Each structure stands twice: as structure tokens, then as C-alpha cells.
Amino acid sequence: METRRLRMLVELSRLGSMRAVADVLGVTTSTVSQQIAVLADDVGAAVIEPDGRRVRLTPVGRRLAEHAVGILAAVEAARHDLAPDAEPNGILRVAGFATAIRTHVLPLVSAMAVSHPRVRVLIREHEPAEALRLLVEDATDLALTYDYNLAPTTEDPALRATALWTARWALGVPAHTAAREGTAPEVVAQFAGHDWIVNSRNVADETVIRTLASMAGFTPRTTHQADSLDLVEDMITAGLGVGLLPVDSLAVPGVRLVPLASPAVELRAYAVTRHGRLDWPPLALVTELLVRRANGGPVSPVPDHRPP
């Protein structure tokens, strides 16, 4: 049933005249008559009956009008609730990598519990490829993702990515290793004969490593896989190989970070949504707050897990 017809029925029950309904709603009397007739077809029973020169609602019509009052009120409430300028309200589903959640989302959740108590955030920790898949499947509302400048993510025309921050990465090697600084290809060339540690859930950092190795003229021997950066550091300390680590990693006694430049290696973080969804107040609010926090917070947040 169209809400426009229900509104006409409610007005008819109040005013008792199709002409009066037409005047109130700014339509013709014949339009009101036609729409009430269609509504009766929708119901499968007469909703009005003659009452002298006027009409009155049948018992079915009166009962439907009672329902219509509640239906129209709910529709109006929904319009106000979902309008772009409405007070944010509802459940927002967020899927993202651990550091974005810990460093940015959790503080926002705590702050919004006071400033926007009607917004509830549901969090799922996922690597970028997994989070993007959930977004495409409409199983989440906001995906926090990242890629590397040397291993960019292919753009999906159905998605909208908002840049958050960037973080420089270096080559992690055993602390006792004598490694000369230089361009990125010159640095990695010194470890052509070493084992390399890569991500266990994605190939992005391996793509970066293979790109730099190709520039240096060798093929890296990737032998170990780990998702946790803490584990990568432990593997490097144990002498199992070398791998990429954030420049802003906390100092680990057994690991030395060798800078990578020309080209630099940068991780780029994003807030990704489906096109057209940012009109929804809770999503618009959290996205705006994430951008604001990224611009005013640490310059280079360090992810706890490697990007997929």
C-alpha cells in the first residue's frame, strides 16, 4: 500500500469529505476518489460507503485508518532518522585491521558513548582483503584497509575510499648484521642470499619485496610467513630471515631497521564505504571523526598486523 493513499484515507476519516481532503492535500477531488478506489482494491474490501451526499468509512476502512496513523508516523520517524542532517542513530558495522581499530576506532567509540549514545559500533577485526569482501557483500558498513605505494589496491568503482594516513616502512634485519644504507634496491641487494619473511594471509608485502628485488636484479627466497609483526621481529632476531617492518616500530634489541628510500615504501590507510552510503548519519559521523583523528593524531600509526 502506498503511503500517499493511506494519508488520503486518514484525512478522509478526519474530514469526512473528498473535496476537503483534496483541498488539504492540494490535489483534485477525482484524484482522491481514484486513489481511495485503488486502496480498496489493495485491501480487497470496500473502505468507504455512501452517506447521503457524502461518504463515510466502512468498518474495514476505519480499522485501516487506525493502522495508517501508526504506519505514517513510523514512516515520518524513519525519514527524520535517516535524513543526512539527522542526529546519528543506529548500529554501524566496522571491519578493519587491528591497529586502526585499537588506535582510532576504540577511542572514538568511547567518546561517542557520551557525545552520540544512540550510535552503536560493532567491530570485526579483518585484514583489508577480507574487510573489502565483507563491504562488497554488504556484511559491513565501513572497511578500514591499507595498501603499499608499491603494491596499490585495484580500485573498485562500487566503493569509495577516503585517505586516512601513511606510514613509512623499513627493512628489518638482525641487529648484528652489517648493512649499508642507500637506495631501496641497494639495501635489499645486500640480502639477495637471505631468506625473506612475508605475510601469511596476503601477498601485498611480498609484492613490495619482489618489486624491490627485481629492481636490484634478483629473485627473493621467501621461506617464512607470519601475520603478526611481533612474530616477524622474533623470527628476525632468531636469524630466520629479513622482512619489512614499520619505521615507527618500538626498538627491539635483536632487530635493526634499515631505511628504504628511492623508492620509499609507504603503507597507506583508508576508510572505505560503498558509494552513496555516506549520506547515512552514523557512517558519515564515524568517517569524519576518523579523518579528523588521523590528521590530528600520530603522523605514522603502526599497524600490529601486516596488510593482506
- Arithmetic mean of pLDDT, 284-307: 68
Helices 29-43 & 3-15 angle (0-180, nearest 10): 110
The Cα–Cα gap between 42 and 259 comes to: 72
The three-state secondary structure class of 270 is strand
Q: Mean pLDDT across the chain, nearest whole number?
A: 89
Other beta carbons less than 10 A from residue 135's beta carbon: 24
Question: What is the C-alpha to C-alpha distance for residues 305 and 145, in angstroms, rounded to an integer?
Answer: 12
pTM of the predicted model over 0.95: no
Q: Domains (ranges, CATH) in the chain?
A: 3-82 (1.10.10.10), 90-165+267-296 (3.40.190.10), 168-266 (3.40.190.10)
Q: Is the pLDDT of residue 115 over 80?
A: yes
pLDDT in tens, 80-101: 666 666 788 889 999 999 889 9
Q: Is the pLDDT of residue 308 over 60?
A: no
Helix (H) or strand (E) holding 132, with range, is helix 128-136
